Structure 1
Amino acid sequence: MNVSKKLALGAAAMALTIGGAVAVSSASAEPHQAQAQAAPVTTAWAKVAANGQIIGGQGITGISKFGIGRYNITTSSGLNGCALLGTINTNGGNDPGPGSSSILVGQVNENTLFIRTATPSSGGTAAVDSDRPFSITVVC
């Protein structure tokens, strides 16, 4: 038994002997072992053309383009508790611009992502929803 444990036991015994209360503490002079936590892992990713064609990816089982700038992507693993990341990019093609672009990535159910792409500052029919190439990543 190390010295700090002996001193703590002695102090507790003395307090009980003279009728005092004993305070219990989880603090210790001994080193604390940190609990190992699993590192985040990319469970799925996709690089997608504006027309909904998958250019590359992993952990993706399907994609459905169901409107202007609207896509559902099905993954092979669950999405609960995962970070969902998306970015608009050109995927080596021309930027359909003009103006800024935006992407919304949301979870539909256990294995499906909803993606919405837009060009909010452009004029005409692309003022809100527009077919844009994008990339998504799922990190759990």
Structure 2
Amino acid sequence: MNASRKLTLAAAALALTVGGGLAVSSASAEPAAASRSLVTTTAWAKVAANGQILGGQGITGINKFGIGRYNIGTAAGLNGCALLGTINTNGGNDPGPGSSSILVGQVNGNTLFIRTATPSAAGSAAVDSDRPFSITVVCP
């Protein structure tokens, strides 16, 4: 056994004895670096029920094209990203009543489709309804 290999084994034994850890490959005596993928929020928006953007980042525009239906353009691509959405109250101006839901989907590389609804509302707007919402796009 050569001197370099003995030194590497001694260092590993010492590290384990004192409760540490040392990763060593057969090609090098250097500790192995941990690899982690970083995620970032690439876009977010807070949107009023009428489609007005109240705040956001990475958003290029919004198109409200029906009751409870919106398309939102993003500056960055959406492939492989997590798409998150929630209904807001916007300081108590939520039209209510009952429970609410939001659907967030990808239309193409840079466009989100949002559908908001009030499933328990009465009348002809029993499903689709204009609701204030927030969306977040998180990408690797």
Aligned length: 120
One-letter amino acid matched to 2:56: G
* 2:44 is the counterpart of 1:41: no
Measured in 2, the distance between the counterparts of 1:117 and 1:101 equals 7
- Flag structure 1 segments of 5+ consecutive residues without an equivalent: 7-26
Deviations, residues 18-76 of structure 1 (Å, cap 9, x unaligned) = xxxxxxxxx87x85431242x21111100000000111111111100000000000001
Q: Structure 1 residues 3 and 135, CA, compared in 2 at 3 Å: closer, same or farther?
A: same
User: In the alignment, what sits opposite 2:66?
Assistant: 67
* 2:2 is the counterpart of 1:3: no
Structure 1 runs (4+) greater than 3 angstroms displaced: 3-6
Instruction: Give the alignment's TM-score, normalised by structure 2.
Output: 0.77
Measured in 2, the distance between the counterparts of 1:139 and 1:129 equals 26
One-letter amino acid matched to 2:43: A
Q: CA deviation at 1:122?
A: 1.4
One-letter amino acid matched to 1:33: A
Instruction: Give the alignment's TM-score, normalised by structure 1.
Output: 0.77
One-letter amino acid matched to 1:111: N
- Flag structure 2 segments of 5+ consecutive residues without an equivalent: 10-24
Measured in 1, the distance between the counterparts of 2:57 and 2:33 equals 36
Measured in 1, the distance between the counterparts of 2:36 and 2:126 equals 48
User: In the alignment, what sits opposite 1:128?
Assistant: 127
CA RMSD of aligned residues (A): 2.2
- % same residue: 80
Determine helix, strand or coil for the equivalent of 1:127.
coil
Measured in 2, the distance between the counterparts of 1:69 and 1:85 equals 17
Q: CA deviation at 1:136?
A: 0.4
Determine helix, strand or coil for the equivalent of 1:66.
strand
